Amino acid sequence: SWTTGSVIEEQVAAIRERVGDKRAICGLSGGVDSAVAAALVQRAIGHQLTCVYVDHGLMRKGETEQVEKDFVAATGVQLKVVDASERFLKALQGVSDPEEKRKIIGREFIRVFEQAQAEIIADEGPAVEFLVQGTLYPDVVESGGGTGTANIKSHHNVGGLPEDLEFQLVEPLRQLFKDEVRMVGQELGLPDEIVQRQPFPGPGLGIRIVGEVTKDRLDLLREADAIAREELTAAGLDREIWQCPVVLLADVRSVGVQGDGRTYGHPIVLRPVSSEDAMTADWSRLPYDVLSRISTRITNEVAEVNRVVLDITSKPPGTIEWE
Ligand code: XMP
């Protein structure tokens, strides 16, 4: 019968057998799946695994530290962190269009990630043969099967590498559903902050700023988001809501009054939703006192924000994210 213990034992044995004395790399996104896959492979082959984490500067407060410190502390994994925040900010300069932002972030991400991979391969030599991915069972079903090999183009700039590197894929979560992955992660000793994490989009806060993405705006949104998350967690609502995007309307200003002066600041939108699979969603009926605390704290503690509004649109017609 299915137990997390037996899944871990089986996978660890299979990975050891398959990888042998070769090396593997794994990209960490900060999400549950890649973290659990990496932890499982680390359990099997230890320092033969190197993880790569690209910090695009669009993460929420504490998320990069969670990977850098908590994940490493829990697993002992060998981690290469690439701080690419300047690069992403530069690429996003002057861009307000949502699709444009998504394209730029996706493109830069792949570039930085491939370069980091290439550097690892250059250091480790030809022994890097395996690429670990956190593919889940629903992903396998949706894409209609899938094979075990992927072509990852290496970066031209790094000398001595073949044009096309063939990696064999290691996908230890291929038979599992999300809740099972969480159980495996827990059993592997990963902290709750990683294992119970709600969905967060790859382009991060970049698509939660309506308007141009700048460092100041990111800092401001990070503060507001941290407050909302803190209060939702304190109220014990994390398991009840699917996720709660916090959005900065950077292109909108409204008049307010604070202390004894007029303000002309930006609104923050709260977008708490309930959902089964994110295909459809309903807005969460959060308790008024929780909403009130979030609103008071954000307007008191975050400079330049003088209004907090609640998004009460279901999906459809609204999407969960604003961009
Ligand atoms: P929407 O906004 O389409 O979002 O209703 C549905 C779910 O997907 C997440 N999301 C993303 N996740 N990369 C991701 O990994 C993305 O580009 C992306 N865009 C949206 C969103 O947070 C929600 O859970």
ipTM: 0.99
Q: Name the binding residues for ATP.
A: 29-35
- Do 101 and 95 touch, CB atoms closer than 8 A? yes
Domain boundaries, the chain: 4-194, 208-310
What is the distance in A from the centroid of ligand 1 to the CA of 168?
28
Q: Is the pLDDT of residue 167 over 90?
A: no
What is the fold, at CATH topology level, of the domain defined by 208-310?
Answer: GMP Synthetase; Chain A, domain 3 (3.30.300)
315 lines ligand 1 (CB under 6 A): yes
pTM, whole model, 2 decimals?
A: 0.89
Nearest CA, atom 9, ligand 1: 201
Tell me, what's the pLDDT at 1?
61
Give the pLDDT confidence of 192-227 residue by residue, as tens digits: 989 999 999 999 999 999 999 999 999 999 999 999
Taken in order 257, 259, 260, 264, the sign of the CA dihedral is negative
Q: Rounded to an integer, what distance in angstroms lies between the CA atom of residue 57 and that of residue 55?
A: 5
Substitution candidate for ligand 1 out of 320, 322, 323 with most atoms within 8 A of CB? 320
Residue 180 to residue 185: CA distance in whole angstroms = 9
Instruction: State the number of CA atoms in the 13 A half-sphere of 293 facing the CB.
Output: 13
Out of 3.40.50.620, 3.30.70.1290, 3.40.640.10, 3.30.70.360, which CATH number does the structure's domain 4-194 have? 3.40.50.620
Q: For the chain, give the percent of residues with pLDDT over 90.
A: 84
Given this model, what pLDDT does residue 124 score?
A: 81
Q: What is the pLDDT of residue 159?
A: 40
What percentage of the chain has pLDDT greater than the value 70? Answer: 92
